[in-house]
Structure 1
């Protein structure tokens, strides 16, 4: 090691600065990795359609579903999200109809391998380390992934004018899946109506 760098590393103030820089670097790297992993909803729409004319809606379920619990959760979440945006539910004369589709598929669980980045001191020296760990699989080796697609249809023309999709992972049903369903529907509908 360069004698000047070695001398600077042994000075208490420089050592403290290096430690803080190491911690900050680790935090920034972790934040970047987490933000890169976050899924974002996707949408597509009729670019010639005037979405400003929409004010009332009605939702309807697909003709056949083999999961009435998930179906009811999605309908409730659609209604809640659209009314929160100022749209009014109107069974008589809706300006648009909302329907949805969903599917559940098996997804291989994560490998259980993780990489860690850390800093520390030993005596008067500082350092950065990288380590790995391997998890021991417990239970099933697959998780489930639910994909939700929401379609908005113009009532007069009966044409699809907007479509949004997103997905989430789950291991079991119940309260956690209900919450994830509502969050996913809300995320999808943040893109509706589209901002041109």
Structure 2
């Protein structure tokens, strides 16, 4: 008798839905130790097409994270911070068929009796954080975080903080 183990599949599914995937890119010729102060690039942030409440959440999280890293907010900053976002609806369809089918054995059924189909809809979003050299007006670092968004207002602060924290964990870049 064969045993079917679904636990690894379940663990992969749960971790893939809850995790924020991050990437970053940077100018390898830049000395990041010279940057000590920051300000937000208002002209860029004003163009972001999300609610003003979510913008405030993101900017507050960036401010807190950079301050914890030793940066200071300034009127004459070394770094300008810009953000932009993308959002897309995702649909996962899973079909599980169980039963006996002639010549196929247990686990696949050409007649689809005893099966189950589940549909999961969710919104996946990407947050980009750009760090721009204020004097040169050049992009020097970009971080990107992608994950599942929530509409639950009680969890939005936590969700946004997770995105921002994980993205900015990669700054400053560790040169190899």
**Under a length normalisation based on structure 2, what TM-score does the superposition of the two structures give?**
0.73
Cα deviation, residue 30, structure 1: 6.3
Cα deviation, residue 103, structure 1: 2.0
Task: Tell me the residue number matched to 2:85.
Answer: 102
Change beyond 3 A, Cα 1:32–1:47: farther
User: Is the helix fraction higher in 1 or 2?
Assistant: 1
The ranges of structure 1 where at least 4 consecutive aligned residues each deviate by more than 6 angstroms after the TM superposition are: none
Cα deviation, residue 147, structure 1: 0.7
Task: Tell me the residue number matched to 2:68.
Answer: 84
Q: Per the alignment, in what secondary structure is the counterpart of residue 70 of structure 2? A: coil
CA distance in 1, matches of 2:158, 2:124: 14
CA distance in 1, matches of 2:172, 2:72: 14
The answer to whether the Cα contact below 8 Å between 1:168 and 1:180 also exists between their aligned partners in 2 is no
In the alignment, structure 1 segments of 5+ residues that lack a partner are: 1-21, 115-129
Q: Per the alignment, in what secondary structure is the counterpart of residue 62 of structure 2? A: helix
CA distance in 1, matches of 2:88, 2:6: 35
Cα deviation, residue 32, structure 1: 7.5
CA distance in 1, matches of 2:168, 2:58: 12
Task: Tell me the residue number matched to 1:42.
Answer: 23
Pick the aligned partner of 1:189 from 128, 144, 168: 168
Highest CA radius of gyration, 1 or 2?
1
Change beyond 3 A, Cα 1:95–1:161: same
Task: Tell me the residue number matched to 1:111.
Answer: 93
Q: Per the alignment, in what secondary structure is the counterpart of residue 48 of structure 1? A: coil
**Under a length normalisation based on structure 1, what TM-score does the superposition of the two structures give?**
0.66
1:122-147 Cα deviation digits (max 9, x unpaired):
xxxxxxxx9xx84655xxx5311111
Change beyond 3 A, Cα 1:26–1:134: closer
Cα deviation, residue 94, structure 1: 1.0
Cα deviation, residue 63, structure 1: 2.7
Cα deviation, residue 95, structure 1: 1.0
Pick the aligned partner of 1:150 from 107, 129, 146: 129
Task: Tell me the residue number matched to 2:103.
Answer: none
Change beyond 3 A, Cα 1:149–1:159: same
Alignment of 1:37-76 (within 5 A): 37=16, 38-61=19-42, 62-66=45-49, 67-76=51-60
Q: Per the alignment, in what secondary structure is the counterpart of residue 41 of structure 1? A: strand
Aligned residues: 155
